[in-house]
Structure formats: structure tokens, C-alpha cells
Chain A
């Protein structure tokens, strides 16, 4: 793998690290399987790209893209809480609707940003080559995002949200307003995913209506890879391992892309990626089993 390709892998890994944190918040903290992210990733990108093309300030555009994605999360929460639609179904409904909304927002399926200013433009004069600048910028975004989420989960409000996820009835009995926590959690989660979409569109030069497909799969894979790496209960470590999980997923894709010398074809990419991710998940488990086995043998 060349340096340029490796930096590209890191960059996309950090961007999807934000997605992984968002997915962690819904799937693990709130215990709310939320598929809205397939749509809100694109929504963040679409709103941001449209505003940038219209000549708005890039930071304002990114912020509004993030907020739009948050609103998508609120819609899912509303469908679930107000009308008792099953959480999975509610999120699928929002995701499906967002496909149309994204097309409407952009006015066409693909919006190019190649010659437009981006969040990186103000930093381009600092002398850091473009390939490093992109990685540093998205890494800072992902790590700040991670730190804020970890801090948030330690506040009284965050603890209440975690309580809702682990035992809704018990939380309610202790005076926690469950619905409010779900609204805030989904807005936060989808906002992070929308921010990732906005950053992806700006660093790669386009927003495309198909770009969100499979976001949930990638995000969930990253969360689970991260979990298999660390068994820590520290929120900070868990959130950071989501980012690391996302980077490892991208490295798996990158290795799969470089596997052609083994006789693989371009169409084998997804299978190789899946196998590599599966190995990453299985290995820590096997290692623990070996350790446990050796420990018992030593006792004997």
C-alpha cells in the first residue's frame, strides 16, 4: 500500500469513525436499532453541498447539513415514540423518505464540489500538503467528536440516557423522562452521521444520492470491530475504539483492493473485506480461548 493510499484509507476511516460513534449511540447506548443513517449520511452531504454550490459559507453549510441530519433522527424518534411504530420500521420509513428528500435537496442525483471551496480551503495556505491536510483535519474532527460524546455520556444527562438504554422501565421509575432521551440520542447520532456525510462530500468532491447505501453496515462493523479490540468499560476508550474500528474496516477494504496479486478479481472485493473483518472479530476470541486453555493446563 502506498503512502498516498494509506492516508486516503485513514481519512475515510476517520470520517466513518463519526458514523461509528453515531451508530454506537443508537445501537448500544440507547438500544434503538436505527437505520436512518443510510439516509442521514447522504442528507448531511446533500444539504452541505447544495449550500456550498449556492455560495454559502462552508462552515455554515456544514453546520446546517449536520442539523438537517439531526432532524431526520428526530423524525424517526417521533414516529417511534408518538405513534408506537417499531423502531426498526420507523427508521426504515425515514431512510426511504430521505432518498427522495435528498434528490429534491440537490435537484439532481449528483452534485459536484470539485472546484468549490470546502472546510479545508482556509487551511490550504499553511504549507501542509493536501494529502496530509485532509487526514489531519478529519482526524481532529473525529477525535473532538469522540471526546465530546465521551464527555456527554459522563454527564448526568448522558448517564440518564445510558440508563434508558439498559433498562427503560427502571429508568422511568427513577424519574428519567425516557422519550426526551430518545429524541436527543437520535438527533445526536444522526447529526454525527450527517457531519460525516458533509465531510465526505467536501474531501472527495461530490455528493451523490447513492453515497449513503450501506452506511449502517459499515458503521455497525466498525462498532463491533472496536468492541472486539477493547473490553474496557471506560466510555472514552469505547468511543475511541469505534474510530479505530472504522479505520481497521477501511484498512481491510484497502488490503482487499491490493489482493489482486493473489489471483483475486475486482469483483471479489466485498468477500475479501468480509473475510478480513470476520478474522479481525474471531482472532481476539480465539486468543482468549487459547489463553484460558493454557491457564487451565498450567493449573493441572
Chain B
């Protein structure tokens, strides 16, 4: 009898201890559809911002799951996350975000690296979206990218774009590209690559048809970006990219936020929710950032000179 009461007291005190600890710990559950450098950088950016704002060590429980590219696993991860009752769910890329939004009715969901959140029905509008969902869109600033390529090649007439027609984000970007290209008198030459093993052939298709190659933030193309660079060097066609990470892997130049910035901006939204703001009252943000990377070694090997003006404002020059 006495023993049980001692146990009861112990159990009670442990429970009290646990709840007091839980009150201080915030739980952020993140997931992404697939692992690749850009999406991993988003995750790391989120964590870095949380750490900088005092959510460190015991005060933060930060989990990460990857769906290994399979939507069925993304759905299963979404259920697991909702069942674990985190304070905020962060879902990176469209299918993961859709799975999280359809699984979570109450827990706040912050999406990131989604190009068209309204088209993906994550939110019904960008300004004060309502409900439990908000996030960050990574729609690229195509006009800014065009003018950068034009600085290198003032006589640009045709621009080759390899992309995976199966990726929602890439299709949205290519449509935006075509729209902007029409106004600027440039022709877009599309080259589809459904798998990363098709990227080499898709790039070769562009030889002789395009003055330059432009790679969007396409997951398939980025995972086989070296193939595009090789074609660019062999055929003397300068390769430009939409993300600065690719400049380190051989693109001539790119102006963008990097995906770490994207993560940091997503992390700031997460912190606003952790501090008590309602997700539905936070506007969906467009990714900001203006870092310009130039790779002078690759420029020389792909037969193009880097304009002085570009060199002067570059935030990083790779030699």
C-alpha cells in the first residue's frame, strides 16, 4: 500500500517535471519531398534562424524527415508529424506541403520552396491567407535573371531552358519565362528532361539552337547540373542558373537568394508563429535576396567575357 503511494507521488512529480519542461521546449517538425542541396539548405537555414533567436539546445526540438521523392511516403510523414503534435510543421516543396496541409487541420503549417502556393491550393490568397497555413514562395525573379544574361550577351536571341515537365514549380517558372521573353524579344527553346539521366541529352539538344542555356530551380536539372556544364564547355554555350549554388558547380553567373536565405526567411515566419501570431494573419512572402555570384573561370571556358559592371557588383567571384 505504502509502496504504491510512493510510486504515485513519483509518477506525479515526474509528470509535473515533464510538463514544466515541455512548456519551455518548442517543437518544430520539418519535412521535404526529397534530399538535395537546395532543399537541405532551406532546412539548415530554418534551424540557424531558430538557434539565433534563442531556440537552442533543450529549448528546441527540431526534427526532419525526407520523403525520398515518393508522394506516398510524404503523406505518411505528414500523418506522423500531425500525430506528434509539434508547435509548427514546416513542409518544404509542393507535394510535402500539400500532404501536410491536407493532414493538419489545426497545427500551423509553414510551407517553403513552393513556387505557386495558390495554384497548389495551400492557401486561397497570399495576403492574410486565413486558416492554419502560411509560408514562403520561391518564385524566381525571371526579369532580373534575363537582364543579367543580357549584360553578358547583349545580342541574345534564343535562350535554351532544360527542365523536367513533371515538376510543378518548373512548369510555372517556364511559363513566367516565356511571358517575360516575349516582351523582351527573346525566344525560349524548351528541352524536357524527365529524369536526371536525361539531363545530358536534353542539354545537347540545345546546341546550335540556343545562344545561352538557363537552368531554373528544377530539382532534376540541379541534381545533374554537371552534365549541363559539360555541354556548355564543349559547345561554347554559356550556362546561367537561377540559384547561386549552381555557380559554384560551374554556371557562369546567377543572381538570387540562396536557399539558405530562403530557409532563414521561412524561419522568421516560424518564429512569429511560435511567439503567438496566427498563421492565417501572416501574409505569404515572396523570397527576397540579391546575392550575385560570378564564375570567371567558367566564363572563360564557355567563351564569354564577364562585363566589368557585373564584376563590380558581384557578391562572390569564383576564379
Residues of A within 8 A of B (CB): 1-9, 11-12, 16, 99, 103, 108-110, 112-115, 130, 200, 203-206, 208-211, 213-214, 218, 250, 253-254, 257-258, 260, 266-267, 269-270
Contacts and interface: CB of A to CB of B under 8 A. Distances in A.
B70 A12 contact: no
B80 A204 contact: no
B246 interface: no
A221 to B, nearest CB: 12
A250 B83 contact: no
Contacts of B71: 204, 206, 208, 210-211
A254 B76 CA distance: 7
A205 B82 contact: no
A267 B66 contact: yes
Contact of A213 (B69, B122, B124): B69
14 contacts: A2-B84, A8-B76, A99-B166, A108-B171, A114-B98, A204-B78, A204-B98, A205-B99, A208-B71, A210-B95, A210-B166, A253-B73, A257-B77, A269-B73
B35 interface: yes
A210 B170 CA distance: 14
Given A114-B98, A114-B102, A270-B68, A5 B80 contact: yes
B83 A112 contact: no
Contact of A257 (B65, B120, B167): B65
A12 B68 contact: no
A274 B98 CA distance: 26
A99 B101 CA distance: 26
7 A-B pairs closest in CB distance: A8-B79, A205-B102, A2-B83, A4-B83, A112-B121, A5-B83, A110-B168
A110 B98 CA distance: 10
A112 B120 contact: yes
A254 B122 CA distance: 25
Contacts of B105: 130
A4 B75 CA distance: 12
Interface string B35-69: 10000000000000000000000000001111011
Contacts of A112: 98, 119-122
Interface centre among B69, B98, B122 (most CB of A within 10 A): B98
Given A9-B76, A110-B94, A267-B35, 16 more contacts: A12-B79, A99-B194, A200-B72, A204-B102, A205-B101, A205-B102, A206-B95, A206-B99, A208-B94, A210-B71, A210-B95, A211-B70, A218-B72, A258-B80, A266-B64, A266-B65
Interface in B178-213: 194
A115 B80 contact: no
B148 interface: no
Nearest to B95: A208
A4 B101 contact: no
Contacts of B69: 210, 213
A109 B78 contact: no
Contact of B83 (A8, A109, A200, A209): A8
